[in-house]
């Protein structure tokens, strides 16, 4: 189970800010009265059979801040969290019903707090040991974090379902179950991320039964036990993948195994030294497994005791996209005609420039362009050489150049006079928070034997500060390809 600060952070992250409006010339009621509405609702929750304890936690701002009604003093209430502890001996259905009823009462209390848009309200349902900030051993086995005020009322159903499923998973062998619900209805079809539970077990042997239960419940679940981790990324578990995970964790010398569902990747850390028989046996075992997923073949990575890495494909099922291939023309253009008599392009016959930089989801994309200025066709068949330099002209250290895509290799491209080829680039965004030495120029060797060309990458569609290709970056570079 995640540490207590993370549990509280989950609840805070799911807090629903109470937005309301009151006339501009009307002063807001006392904030103590606002909190009293939830205290009254909490008293009603305490009367429910199956509720062991209810606590109302208030948080005040640490410093005076500007709010909708002027500056708020340091003692001003900023948030209220209601913690509802359920009887852990309840049946799953009864626990869900009680949690849903309790949440409705809290929703009613929160609805009477209109006008307090500076006060955030959240609810948390848990079962098991009483929560304690002072004892690492005092941890509830069930934690469901949710906003206390559902705008459409559907969040109450989400709370009830999540609590019921948590009790069901507990009965199937879970050590802990935690779920953070957002403002949607928390169902798999409508909002899979909101429905995902984090489930821990005491032994990898328990994970298969938990996966089967999660499938029956249609509940997205990440599963974890000592030495084994299944990262669901909001998906209902693949039971066959969990079986493979558990079997891999039981192999000789294996320390840790992680199945990454989104990446379709199995990551294994072994305590064996390079060349050990157990490592060779592990690779043979992985490639002999009869395993297939609905999305794509499953890759694996094995790290030995010195963290040396070897890779492969479970069942030996390497995807066709990883077979050797060249890149198609960008933009879907028809390929230029091949001219076997065309000479190789040289540095003097190519005019090299840098393309516009795009970014999405933490990834940067750029390209190097080369225009044929020879007066006739010429051919290229290579990956350009690149050196990334900072503002002082120094090469960035420890840059790793990788293939643009698995299996991609250069193909011969005959470039008509006046046309251009491009070499695509990809890299992960790197932090520039502390004003590091960004890349301001890129040295390009277009073809073997050509003189390097230094390109300024702070103008014409590139960031004025340069590229966030810093020391230690990994850059994926493709071969020269028809640009369109």
pLDDT digits (tens, 9 = 90+) for 340-359: 999 999 999 999 999 888 87
Residues 6+ apart with CB under 8 A from 213: 168, 169, 172
Contacts of 434 (CB under 8 A, 6+ apart): none
245 touches 217 (CB < 8 A): no
Predicted pLDDT of residue 149? 47
Q: At what angle do helices 154-171 and 207-217 cross, to 10 degrees?
A: 150
- Residue that wins the pLDDT comparison between 180 and 185: 180
The pair of three-digit structure tokens given for residue 128, joined into one six-digit string: 């098991």
| Residue-wise pLDDT tens digits, 73-109 | 545 556 788 899 999 999 999 999 999 999 989 888 8
Of the given ranges (7-16, 22-31, 411-420), which has the lowest mean pLDDT?
7-16
- Classify the phi-psi angles of 11: left when phi > 0, otherwise alpha if psi is within -120 to 50, otherwise beta: alpha
Q: What is the pLDDT of residue 420?
A: 95
* pLDDT confidence of residue 76: 57
pLDDT value of position 188: 36
Model confidence pLDDT, tens digit, residues 312-322 = 889 887 766 66
Average pLDDT of the segment spanning 462-479: 90
Assigned token pair, 157 = 């159903």
pLDDT value of residue 203: 96
Parallel/antiparallel/unpaired status of strands 120-128 and 16-17: antiparallel
Considering the chain, what percentage of its residues have pLDDT values greater than 70?
Answer: 78
pLDDT given for residue 68 in this prediction: 45
pLDDT of 364 reads 87
Tell me if 191 sits within 8 A of 182, measured CB to CB: yes
Residue 162 — pLDDT band, cuts 50, 70, 90? very high
* Residue 309 confidence (pLDDT): 87
Residue 223 confidence (pLDDT): 95
Model confidence band, residue 154 (pLDDT cutoffs 50, 70, 90): low
pLDDT for 144 equals 86
Q: What integer best gives the mean pLDDT of the chain? A: 81
Quote the radius of gyration of the chain (alpha carbons, Å): 29
Cα(31)–Cα(36) distance, integer angstroms: 9
Higher-confidence position of 65 and 451: 451
Question: Which neighbouring-strand residues pair with 259?
Answer: 230, 266
Beta strands in 314-384 (DSSP E): 350-354, 358-360, 363-372, 378-380
pLDDT for 187 equals 42
pLDDT above 80 (res 114): no
Rounded Cα distance between 155 and 181, Å, is: 8
Amino acid 331: pLDDT: 79
Overall average pLDDT of the 148-165 stretch:
72
- Nearest in space to 442 (alpha carbons), one of 483, 480, 378, 399: 399
Predicted local confidence at residue 107, as pLDDT: 84
């Amino acid at each position: 189970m995640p540490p207590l600060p993370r549990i509280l952070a989950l609840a805070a992250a799911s807090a629903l800010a109470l937005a309301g409006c009151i006339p501009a010339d009307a002063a807001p009621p006392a904030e103590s009265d606002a909190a009293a509405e939830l205290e009254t609702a909490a008293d009603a929750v305490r009367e429910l059979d199956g509720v062991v304890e209810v606590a109302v936690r208030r948080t005040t701002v640490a410093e005076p801040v500007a709010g909708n009604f002027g500056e708020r003093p340091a003692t001003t209430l900023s948030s209220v969290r209601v913690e509802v502890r359920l009887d852990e001996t309840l049946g799953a259905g009864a626990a869900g019903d009680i949690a849903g009823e309790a949440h409705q009462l809290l929703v009613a209390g929160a609805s009477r707090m209109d006008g307090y848009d500076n006060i955030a309200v959240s609810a948390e349902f848990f079962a098991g040991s009483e929560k304690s900030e002072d004892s690492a051993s005092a941890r509830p086995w069930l934690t469901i974090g949710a906003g206390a005020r559902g705008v459409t009322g559907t969040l109450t159903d989400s709370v009830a379902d999540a609590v019921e499923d948590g009790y069901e998973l507990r009965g199937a062998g879970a050590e802990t179950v935690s779920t953070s619900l957002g403002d949607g209805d928390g169902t798999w079809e409508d909002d899979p991320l909101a429905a995902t539970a984090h489930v821990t077990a005491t032994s990898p042997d328990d994970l298969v039964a938990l996966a089967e239960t999660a499938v029956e419940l249609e509940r997205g679940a990440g599963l974890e036990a000592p030495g084994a981790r299944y990262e669901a990324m909001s998906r209902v578990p693949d039971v066959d993948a969990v079986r493979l995970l558990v079997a891999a964790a039981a192999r000789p010398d294996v320390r840790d195994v992680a199945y990454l569902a989104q990446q379709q990747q199995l990551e294994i850390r072994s305590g064996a030294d390079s060349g050990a028989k157990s490592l060779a046996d592990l690779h043979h075992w992985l490639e002999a497994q009869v395993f297939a997923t609905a999305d794509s073949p499953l890759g694996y990575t094995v790290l030995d005791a010195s963290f040396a890495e070897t890779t492969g494909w479970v069942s030996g099922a390497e995807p066709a996209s990883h077979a050797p291939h060249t890149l198609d023309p960008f933009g879907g253009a028809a390929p230029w005609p091949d001219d076997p008599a065309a000479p190789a392009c040289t540095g003097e016959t190519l005019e090299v420039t840098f393309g516009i930089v795009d970014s999405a989801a933490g990834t940067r994309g750029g390209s190097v362009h080369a225009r044929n200025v020879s007066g006739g066709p010429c051919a290229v068949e290579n990956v350009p050489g690149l050196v990334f330099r900072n503002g002082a002209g120094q090469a960035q250290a420890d840059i790793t150049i990788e293939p643009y895509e698995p299996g991609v290799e250069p193909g011969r491209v005959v470039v008509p006079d006046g046309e251009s080829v491009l070499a695509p680039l990809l890299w992960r965004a790197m932090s520039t928070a502390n004003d590091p030495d960004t890349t301001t120029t890129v040295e390009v060797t277009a073809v073997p034997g050509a003189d390097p060309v230094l390109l300024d990458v702070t103008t014409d569609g590139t960031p004025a500060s340069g590229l966030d290709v810093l020391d230690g970056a990994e850059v994926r570079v493709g071969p020269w390809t028809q640009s369109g």
